[in-house]
Amino acid sequence: MSVAPRLVITSNRVLRSPAAPAAPGTIIVDKATGKIVEVLDTVKTRQDFGEQITHQEDFVEAVDNVVMPGVVDAHVHINEPGRTHWEGFATATKAAAAGGVTTLIDMPLNSIPPTTTVENLHIKTDAARGQTYVDVGFYGGVIPTNVNDLIPLVKEGVKGFKCFMIESGVDEFPCVNEEEIAAAMEKFQETDSVFMFHAEQDCGDIPKPEGMDPKDYNTFLHQRPQLLETNAIRTIIKLAKQYPKVRCHIVHLSAADALPMIRQAKADGVRLTVETCPHYLSLNSENVPEGATEYKCCPPIREDENREKLWEALKEGTIDYVVSDHSPCVVELKLMEAGDFVGAWGGIGGLQFGIPVVWTEARRRGCTIQDLTKWQSFNTARQVGLGGIKGSITVGADADFVIWNPDETFVITKEIIEFKNKVTPYMGRTLHGVVKETFVRGQKVWTQGKITSEVALGKLLL
Ligand SMILES: NC(=O)NC(NC(N)=O)C(=O)[O-]
Ligand SMILES: [Zn+2]
Ligand SMILES: [Zn+2]
């Protein structure tokens, strides 16, 4: 009688889902399908599995390291094709694997062409195929001219749509006005697709930075006040009420001033979800060094007091989850030598460091690994329609795991960064939370600081 080969992982700290704390467990995976077939609540031994273990490395004893559902990073800019020198599929997904991210969802802009038509989506997926070390899904974009492309993109399997309410930073992806948003909502109300907003809206109230020092972070902060975010979010909530069937989502929330409005909208039953990012939860404007443009992103990193309010909102569930918004560019466009905050590209490189950046802050606020799983794996998976498949360790789900040590620290250096352009505001920081091994559908893709799969086995999720 032949036995089905298994991968077995044991640990004293298995975190199955946000519903229960870490506890001893044994996870049994069918190697043929990459699915979890059984989860036991005791730590078994190698002998318990006999011939079901065909290779020594298929029995993994994590001991006191945490075994958690792989992170689902639902907001990443991979700029291939067209701007592959900014970021490509191979480098981005290696960085993901290194950071315990087993699924990422790619944003529709910064690659050329942007993902705004079915044809463009195919150009994107052709570029991705065979290059990804983790699983990758795709968002479509809403721009002024593609209202008739939206439903076809939904049918192709995009995981949602992003639009901008202010210039996006790239010419190929223009922003939309209220009328154009409403026209897109007409389409989306027949679907379950999520409509995501870059929520900054200029109602003629941006002060010009004239006479201000471009190397001073406050000059940039002054140009992107909280008001832009509250303007946009007020508009989004108004439109969401007009189209109550449409799932609306605010990406990368930075402005705590918008929280009362969001709380009220959620209490009123508006279909609204909200994300924030590790940089808004860990960095503050008071500590941005002069000319340090690696900190520039839109909306901006704000004051420490604002950051604490974001933490409160995350803990209470007003903010639903945390994503990287990894949006890098080539070093030159960061204008680091000039230290010009006004002219530099806005976007932060941070994929790979989501777990340690959030965990380092979370642990000193009394949050748990359960919370982290909810914010970075469970809720994000559910958001993009992958609940039950990704984001939890449960029978029938994909065997996507990150094994990590929450108590160990490490230092971020250029040498350990896997993403293409080694620019990040976290450089030199000592963080808690060391990723040891990453598994995607039962295959070990990362161990001991290295990629372990010789071929890129990531799946495109369409
Ligand atoms: N063009 C961009 O990638 N923009 C991104 N830039 C940031 N966040 O600074 C974003 O998500 O808006
Ligand atoms: Zn954005
Ligand atoms: Zn983004």
3-class SS of residue 462? coil
- The predicted model gives 68-72 an average pLDDT of 98
Does residue 283 surpass a pLDDT of 70?
yes
CA distances from 325 to 72, 141, 278 (A): 12, 15, 9
CA of 76 to the centre of ligand 3 (A): 6
Please indicate whether residue 109, judged by its CB atom, sits closer than 6 Å to ligand 1: yes
| Distance separating alpha carbons of residues 324 and 302, to the nearest angstrom | 17
Residues flanking ion ligand 3, Cβ below 5 Å: 325, 327
Please indicate whether residue 231, judged by its CB atom, sits closer than 6 Å to ligand 1: no
Q: Hey, whose CA ends up nearest to atom 11 of ligand 1?
A: 325
CA of 251 to the centre of ligand 2 (A): 6
| Distance separating alpha carbons of residues 103 and 264, to the nearest angstrom | 32
Please indicate whether residue 323, judged by its CB atom, sits closer than 6 Å to ligand 1: no
Tell me the ipTM for this assembly. Answer: 0.97
Please indicate whether residue 252, judged by its CB atom, sits closer than 6 Å to ligand 1: yes
Please indicate whether residue 425, judged by its CB atom, sits closer than 6 Å to ligand 1: no
CA of 41 to the centre of ligand 1 (A): 43
| Distance separating alpha carbons of residues 10 and 126, to the nearest angstrom | 38
Those residues with Cβ within 8 angstroms of residue 171's Cβ, 6 or more apart along the chain or in another chain: none
Please indicate whether residue 175, judged by its CB atom, sits closer than 6 Å to ligand 1: no
Please indicate whether residue 121, judged by its CB atom, sits closer than 6 Å to ligand 1: no
Residues forming a β-bridge with 29 = 7, 36
- The predicted model gives 356-362 an average pLDDT of 98
pLDDT tens, position by position, 79-131? 999 999 999 999 999 999 999 999 999 999 999 999 999 999 999 999 999 99
- The predicted model gives 449-459 an average pLDDT of 91
Confidence class for position 359, pLDDT limits 50, 70, 90: very high
What mean pLDDT value characterizes the chain?
97
Determine the residue of 111, 170, 252 to mutate for testing ligand 1's pocket, defined as the one with the most ligand atoms within 8 A of the Cβ atom: 252
CA of 401 to the centre of ligand 2 (A): 28
Q: Hey, whose CA ends up nearest to atom 5 of ligand 1?
A: 347
| 432-457 burial code (b ≥16 CB/10 A, e <16) | bbbbbbbbbbbbbbbbeeebbeeebb
Atom of ligand 1 nearest to the CA of 77: 3
pLDDT tens, position by position, 284-337? 999 999 999 999 999 999 999 999 999 999 999 999 999 999 999 999 999 999
CA distances from 393 to 15, 101, 340, 388 (A): 8, 15, 45, 9
Please indicate whether residue 198, judged by its CB atom, sits closer than 6 Å to ligand 1: yes
Please indicate whether residue 209, judged by its CB atom, sits closer than 6 Å to ligand 1: no
| Distance separating alpha carbons of residues 330 and 421, to the nearest angstrom | 6
